[in-house]
Chains A and B, each alone.
Chain A
Amino acid sequence: MTKPFLLGAVAYDAKVVTIWDGFQRWFAQHDFAFDYMLYSNYEQQVEGHFSGHFHVAWNSPLAWLQAERIAVRTGRTVKAIAMRDTDCDLTSVIVVRQDSPIQTIRDLRNKTVAVGASDSPQATLIPLLHLAEAGLEPEKDVNVHRFDLLVGKHGDHIGGERHAAKALIDGRVDAACMIDGNHLLFAREGTLPANSTRILAQTAEYDHCNFTVLDTAPIEAVARFRELLLSMSYDDPAVRPLLDLEGLKQWRPGRTEKYALLARAIDRFHTVDAFVDKVSNACR
């Protein structure tokens, strides 16, 4: 039996099993032996990746940066080979109530801003960087109310953002941070009724997840895996439900330039320093 090409993924939701079981079947139909292993958090997954437990990681943007920094520190190379179309060119927004007297970012001084999980790029790190770069240092110039749901899953679970939005509507906080698409989603599901909120600020663009490989990954298998991913078509009824579950219409080649914003955020807040130190030292 051919040794399968192994993927590591984080189980941020029960649907993750459905998704990767489905992809496994699809890959098998295309004569590609594929299997996956699940981690409960991205830090375990990144450590597992550097320990050689699997060949490719389905990484959050923060996990990508962790992997990239550990690779630099340990003389390894790391590559993002593919991502979802919906991972590209995201922004986050800072939202206030429609009737709020807050009109500019500066008005948030000494106010309370709700964010998602502490390791969520979209609902916490990037919006807080936006505030910081606008002159409002989090926890100093502005109070931060964290909805620290499922730390370790890097904000993949939407719960933290939803709690932040509810807190805004309930009047418990002055502003809430979320990914741009969730402002529309929360309006549709009724969490944020139409016209009840106003977008105060929008961050610059950034990218989200990617498939990450290290230099030790089998070259041919990686190439075949990537080729098959990019060949998946939304027209194909066998794969369409999986693409719907994973939230994309099309896989795209990986790119890394739009992780710069998040990199700035973690540099400023020292979010991953200790973890990167620990894993890098263990790898030496």
Chain B
Amino acid sequence: MTASNAVELGRLGLDQGGYLLIKHALRTVPVGSAIQVSGESPELAIHLRSWCRTQGHRIDFLSQTSADHAPIAIIYRGGAETGRWVGAQSTGDASMPQQHAPACWGLAGRSATVEAGSPSFEFPLNTRTEVWAQEVARLYAQALAAQWNPIAAIPWNEPFDLPDEIEDAVVQVMTYLIENETAALIIPARFAAQIHPHFREVMQLLAIQAADEARHIEVFTRRALLRRTKLGLSTAGGQASLKTLLDETDFTLSGMLLSVLGEGSFLSLLSFLHQHAPDPVTREIARMVSQDEARHVAFGVAHLTWHVNEQPSCLDRLAIAIERRHDMLANTAGLNEEVFDALILLAAGSLQPEALRAGWNKVQTLIADMDQGRIKRLRKIGFPDSKAQSLSALHTRNFM
């Protein structure tokens, strides 16, 4: 019996964690080999007997008392602990996910060892090609660092005074933004629950994206109700456009429609609001929200670039999805007139004819800017220039 095979518990009882020392010593010897245990805890012999029984180790008692630190028992290591890990699976490398994550890995973290016989979890998004993006870990870290508190970040109490029609226009734009952001919350939240946890960075990023949208809904609502008691109008056409986003069950196609085209267009809209907002609260909201949306767009572009690189035929699927959505929305009104008018008024700042002309021109610039942004992102994903232009033109008139 070597020193490492002898456990001296002193006054430490098994009911105080002493069994950990015994477990540790047993792991150093092969199954069937023995360790000696000594100790002075009055209940040691009784506890050793019952502990060994439940753990599947054989025990022989040398004496019931442990005078002069003499060993009290010899424990022969049973095979249960090693047996438990027969057929266990490694879940790969901690730093890079595997191409395919099996259902039996379940909720285990990447690089954990999973006991055979663990339950299977049906996560439909279980391949790296389907979900991954090169920059996902960096984007998640960035998102985490950039979380902001609406109470502190927005100057809610800063004084401003707007004409009624301009305040109404702001409320209408907020009403529109709220329902768009609600769609943008539901979609990543739903996909987060479908992604195999092996691709944890994607799951985490989608979760924080949903949290971003929750915050956006809050600040848009609070701005709308700052001077009014109720929100504005929600149109059938606007909701029909958003419903096509919610109806898209394919993660990659959804990423294209929502993140790249929808939220991409929203970046231009938020920049417009930041630039032309008639009050400091709306202006700051647009600036803060825009930072979050830029990350959402960055992930969408990064994921699609990854996917197209791994599977070039994916480009055709993406194009078909854009065309299909366009066809479905062809007979709807698209952006509601109230929102369009509100944007002009908001940019105009008053009902004066010259101001309205300027406001109109600014909205035209916004629409052109949105188009250019979409084309740029479609090209980055891998579409040739002409295809990028034609696909951008098919994007919903509802912007999102």
Q: Which residues of chain B are near A188, meaning CB under 8 Å?
A: 15
Q: Which residues of chain B are near A184, meaning CB under 8 Å?
A: 14-15, 47, 50-51
Would you list 20 pairs from A and B whose C-beta atoms are within 8 A, ordered by A residue? A85-B53, A86-B53, A90-B53, A93-B46, A180-B47, A180-B49, A181-B50, A181-B53, A181-B54, A184-B15, A184-B47, A184-B51, A188-B15, A192-B15, A194-B15, A194-B16, A234-B83, A235-B83, A237-B116, A240-B83
Are B56 and A249 closer than 8 Å at their CB atoms?
A: yes
Are A183 and B13 closer than 8 Å at their CB atoms?
A: no
Query: B residues 107-162 with Cβ under 8 Å of A?
Result: 115-117
Q: Which residues of chain A are near B56, meaning CB under 8 Å?
A: 85, 234, 249-250
As a 0/1 sequence over residues 233 to 273 of chain A, the CB contacts with chain B under 8 angstroms (1 = contact) are 11101101100000101100000000000000000000000
- Which positions in A face B, CB cutoff 8 Å? 85-86, 88-91, 93, 179-181, 183-184, 187-188, 192, 194-195, 198-199, 202, 233-235, 237-238, 240-241, 247, 249-250
The distance in angstroms between the C-alpha atoms of A198 and B13, with both chains bound, is 12
Candidates B42, B46, B78; contact of A249 at CB < 8 Å: B78
Per DSSP, chain B at the interface is helix
The distance in angstroms between the C-alpha atoms of A91 and B48, with both chains bound, is 12
Q: Which residues of chain A are near B80, meaning CB under 8 Å?
A: 234, 249
Q: Which residues of chain A are near B83, meaning CB under 8 Å?
A: 233-235, 240
Are A199 and B43 closer than 8 Å at their CB atoms?
A: yes
> 11 other contacts beyond A179-B50, A198-B43, with CB at 8 A cut-off?
A88-B53, A184-B51, A187-B15, A188-B15, A192-B15, A194-B13, A194-B15, A234-B84, A235-B79, A235-B86, A249-B78
Q: Which residues of chain A are near B49, meaning CB under 8 Å?
A: 89, 91, 180
Are A202 and B54 closer than 8 Å at their CB atoms?
A: no
Candidates A86, A234, A235, A238; contact of B54 at CB < 8 Å: A86
Known: A183-B43, A184-B50, A249-B80. A237 touches B115 (CB 8 A): yes
Known: A194-B16, A235-B83, A237-B87. A247 touches B50 (CB 8 A): no
- With most chain B CB atoms within 10 A of its CB, the pick from A90, A180, A192, A198 is A180
As a 0/1 sequence over residues 37 to 60 of chain B, the CB contacts with chain A under 8 angstroms (1 = contact) are 000001100110111011110000
The distance in angstroms between the C-alpha atoms of A188 and B83, with both chains bound, is 25
Report the minimum CB–CB distance from A230 to chain B (whole Å).
15
The distance in angstroms between the C-alpha atoms of A113 and B167, with both chains bound, is 79
Candidates B42, B53, B86, B87; contact of A198 at CB < 8 Å: B42
Q: Which residues of chain A are near B47, meaning CB under 8 Å?
A: 180, 183-184
The distance in angstroms between the C-alpha atoms of A237 and B117, with both chains bound, is 5
Candidates B42, B55, B78; contact of A199 at CB < 8 Å: B42
The distance in angstroms between the C-alpha atoms of A249 and B84, with both chains bound, is 10
Q: Closest chain B residue to A93 by CB distance? A: B46
Query: B residues 82-117 with Cβ under 8 Å of A?
Result: 83-84, 86-87, 115-117
Q: Closest chain A residue to B11 by CB distance? A: A195
Are B16 and A234 closer than 8 Å at their CB atoms?
A: no
Report the minimum CB–CB distance from A135 to chain B (whole Å).
22
The distance in angstroms between the C-alpha atoms of A222 and B58, with both chains bound, is 29
Q: Closest chain B residue to A202 by CB distance? A: B46
Q: Which residues of chain A are near B42, meaning CB under 8 Å?
A: 198-199
Q: Closest chain A residue to B19 by CB distance? A: A184
Report the minimum CB–CB distance from B157 to chain A (whole Å).
51
- 7 smallest beta-carbon distances between A and B, as pairs: A237-B117, A187-B15, A249-B56, A181-B50, A237-B116, A235-B83, A234-B83
Q: Which residues of chain B are near A247, meaning CB under 8 Å?
A: 54
Q: Which residues of chain B are near A88, meaning CB under 8 Å?
A: 53
The distance in angstroms between the C-alpha atoms of A29 and B333, with both chains bound, is 61
Q: Which residues of chain A are near B84, meaning CB under 8 Å?
A: 234-235, 240
The distance in angstroms between the C-alpha atoms of A198 and B16, with both chains bound, is 14
Known: A181-B54, A184-B51, A194-B15. A238 touches B117 (CB 8 A): yes
Query: B residues 12-70 with Cβ under 8 Å of A?
Result: 13-16, 42-43, 46-47, 49-51, 53-56
The distance in angstroms between the C-alpha atoms of A194 and B47, with both chains bound, is 12
Q: Which residues of chain A are near B16, meaning CB under 8 Å?
A: 187, 194-195
The distance in angstroms between the C-alpha atoms of A37 and B92, with both chains bound, is 45
Report the minimum CB–CB distance from B345 to chain A (whole Å).
65
Report the minimum CB–CB distance from B193 to chain A (whole Å).
26
Q: Closest chain A residue to B85 by CB distance? A: A235
Are B117 and A234 closer than 8 Å at their CB atoms?
A: no
Q: Closest chain B residue to A198 by CB distance? A: B42
Are B50 and A183 closer than 8 Å at their CB atoms?
A: yes
The distance in angstroms between the C-alpha atoms of A187 and B115, with both chains bound, is 28
Q: Which residues of chain A are near B115, meaning CB under 8 Å?
A: 237
The distance in angstroms between the C-alpha atoms of A199 and B14, with both chains bound, is 14
Q: Which residues of chain A are near B13, meaning CB under 8 Å?
A: 194-195
The distance in angstroms between the C-alpha atoms of A247 and B54, with both chains bound, is 7
Q: Which residues of chain B are near A183, meaning CB under 8 Å?
A: 15, 43, 46-47, 50
The distance in angstroms between the C-alpha atoms of A58 and B39, with both chains bound, is 38
The distance in angstroms between the C-alpha atoms of A198 and B87, with both chains bound, is 43
Report the minimum CB–CB distance from B65 to chain A (whole Å).
13
Report the minimum CB–CB distance from B162 to chain A (whole Å).
62
Report the minimum CB–CB distance from A83 to chain B (whole Å).
13
Q: Which residues of chain A are near B53, meaning CB under 8 Å?
A: 85-86, 88-90, 181
Q: Which residues of chain A are near B50, meaning CB under 8 Å?
A: 179-181, 183-184
Report the minimum CB–CB distance from A194 to chain B (whole Å).
5
Report the minimum CB–CB distance from B57 to chain A (whole Å).
9
The distance in angstroms between the C-alpha atoms of A241 and B78, with both chains bound, is 18
